[in-house]
Amino acid sequence: MPVPLLSVIPMGIITVLFAVTGTGYSAVSRLANDGKPLRHNLDNWDRMMMRRDYRLTGSTRGQAFRNE
């Protein structure tokens, strides 16, 4: 049974909008994390290391001091 042609255009628009919002969310979250992907399942050790990194470098994702 063929797909009605009138339903292809709205389905394409919906697919494109989902792709745009997903890509935008990924870009914004990476910018907020210094270009690195989001962290998941953080435990106390990870949070402690993030606080230590922030005190050393000023960024929760940095692990080395850069004198720039």
| pTM for this entry | 0.63
Q: 37: pLDDT confidence band, cut at 50, 70 and 90?
A: confident
Task: Tell me the C-alpha to C-alpha distance, in Å, between residue 48 and each of 34, 39, 55, 63, 68.
Answer: 19, 14, 11, 13, 26
Mean pLDDT across 28-52: 89
**Structure tokens, 8:** 């292809």
What was the pLDDT predicted at 19?
98
The whole-angstrom separation of Cα 26 and Cα 20 is 10
The answer to whether 36 and 60 have CB atoms below 8 angstroms apart is no
Compute the average pLDDT of residues 23-41: 89
Question: Which residues, including other chains, have CB under 8 Å from residue 65's CB and lie 6 or more apart?
Answer: 56, 57
